[in-house]
Structure 1
């Protein structure tokens, strides 16, 4: 019996063990933290429970939350993507160029949305190929592509803001459906789809197995490189969706500011939600809760008049606490 045949039963046991991890235990702590934070915020400011304020919080959370869902797959598979913020800027530029290039306003919106998803997928594919085929660490690849994407966005626009007068485009990011902002519906709809993909399909189990132990996963018959590549593509598609929501909300995009620090917010949401930075375990709903926690914290800091120069300190402290609690829970 060769080495791969010996390792295959081990790999199957790894996958089975990952399937047996109860989802509720991994998101219980973030959920409790979210409830406590909500209660404290409602007591700290009389404006927090205002309908308009809660709607704005949910809308702001959706932009980075959509990206964080894609980031969840990348991190569970043992990778990282630092380029998503710059990717938002470049995809946003592409979206508005397509909108302005097509004369029919409805066709322009449809083509722009398709272009955003395709462009995001291609940029994610670019990162994934360098990681899997080029054998370069994901941190290094995405750190480089972060600079590349931002530079391209600035070059194509001469660092100037790009806008559109399309009468229908703003209805996507600024519109409502069933009383909720469309970006929020997209955020939660995407969370449902990706949760099913991660926990109720063989693909999701393979992603967890690759993140837990790529060598054992390879011996058990899982195509590790293909799985890792696909997670970067998923992250790129999520960036495309977020870019659509953001640019349509503003009807414009600033290549120097769009998506600024989104990569940090996305990673923070994933970590706060209980996903292990070492890979192998995590949940989509934990990431959703993490994004909501960050959104409420930012909102409360603004409502209570905390200096914007100190808000990064608070956010950084929350991230460190979440990571510390992860290590405390790890046997």
Structure 2
């Protein structure tokens, strides 16, 4: 039996797709470059705010950033599904609030057990997403208009159902544990990571599997790449589009649970404006607003960037209105970067 030579080993590695060239090609892909750039931006922001204010690295502040990222990250994951189809959902923030209010109705007003409240949040989120999908797929209402209408509808329903007053969960044992307690911290006291972050991780893993390993994921990307070609191939595009919005709505329900658990209340006026941070996180993470491309990992990095930026500006006593201005500028820059990526991709082909 002959001993493999270095040349044989290198040849085998190349044949298996592990050549330096293939690694270089993967690193030079636009999607990979965008994620690396986003991660580098996150590191730069954290270093900057660490030097700008000693308060930034305090344990309580870091936990607050994680809590904020959990909510924004789950909402951004919901947006990722829709944006990959070349759609948009302006209702995710108010839908999150509506789901929190409905959880309050089930748990506080009706006195139901905790598990029913959790199911209610996801159910009403999915139901609202289903309605949005119907408006877009069947009635052919543009996603921007349909979800804008749903945003106003859900905002009004939240105020009417709650009587414009917060619904508190003081009589629901274990509700605040959903977001505020730390299972990881109980095991490793040095890592008091809130349960909300663990839930974000689980949602991200599940969403990534759905997008990359299931038929729903395949058609989600296909709808964004060329919906007409998919339709002409015999696929029921309306069904898959409605399903995408339904799944997205269910994920918003999880975000509603997290925000309600964090505040120990359902705040009916809360939610508007969250959609901007979510969309910004998605675009920063490399998902194209024209559809067809996107990753959950990129979205999570984008969510961390938005949370760190918002937190850092608040610590530096930057006024809320200027924080909104910064968010708007970031969205514009991220969209322009997406346009440049698509142009470079077109030239490459």
User: Fold match, TM over 0.5?
Assistant: yes
Give the CA deviation at 1:205.
2.1
**Worse-superposed segment, 160-169 or 273-282:** 160-169
Task: Note the alpha carbon deviations across 1:99-144, whole angstroms, 9 max, x for none.
Answer: 12454xxx62111001111111001001001111111111111111
Q: Which residue number in structure 1 is paired with residue 242 of structure 2?
A: 229
Give the CA deviation at 1:325.
1.3
Give the CA deviation at 1:190.
0.8
SS of the equivalent of 2:328 reads: helix
The answer on whether the counterparts of 2:31 and 2:286 sit within 8 Å (CA) in structure 1 is no
Give the CA deviation at 1:255.
1.0
SS of the equivalent of 1:91 reads: helix
Give the CA deviation at 1:24.
2.6
Structure-to-structure mapping, 1:127-146, within 5 angstroms: 127-146=132-151
The answer on whether the counterparts of 1:101 and 1:108 sit within 8 Å (CA) in structure 2 is no
Aligned counterparts of 2:292 and 2:217: Cα–Cα separation in 1: 11
Q: Which residue number in structure 1 is paired with residue 81 of structure 2?
A: 73
Aligned counterparts of 1:119 and 1:309: Cα–Cα separation in 2: 32
- Alignment of 1:48 with 2:56, yes or no, is yes
Q: Which residue number in structure 2 is paired with residue 190 of structure 1?
A: 203
Give the CA deviation at 1:207.
1.0
- Alignment of 1:86 with 2:94, yes or no, is yes
Flag as ranges the 4+ runs of structure 1 deviating above 4 A. Answer: none
Q: Which residue number in structure 2 is paired with residue 321 of structure 1?
A: 333
One of 227, 247, 272 as aligned partner of 2:284: 272
SS of the equivalent of 1:80 reads: coil
Q: Which residue number in structure 2 is paired with residue 287 of structure 1?
A: 299
Aligned counterparts of 2:247 and 2:37: Cα–Cα separation in 1: 27
Structure-to-structure mapping, 1:1-331, within 5 angstroms: 24-103=32-111, 108-165=113-170, 166-179=172-185, 180-256=193-269, 258-331=270-343
Q: Which consecutive residues of structure 1, in runs of 5 or more, have no partner in the other structure?
A: 1-20
Name which one, 1 or 2, has greater alpha-carbon Rg: 2
Q: TM-score, length-normalised on structure 2?
A: 0.84
Q: TM-score, length-normalised on structure 1?
A: 0.88
SS of the equivalent of 1:210 reads: helix
The answer on whether the counterparts of 1:26 and 1:283 sit within 8 Å (CA) in structure 2 is no
Q: Which consecutive residues of structure 2, in runs of 5 or more, have no partner in the other structure?
A: 1-28, 186-192, 344-349
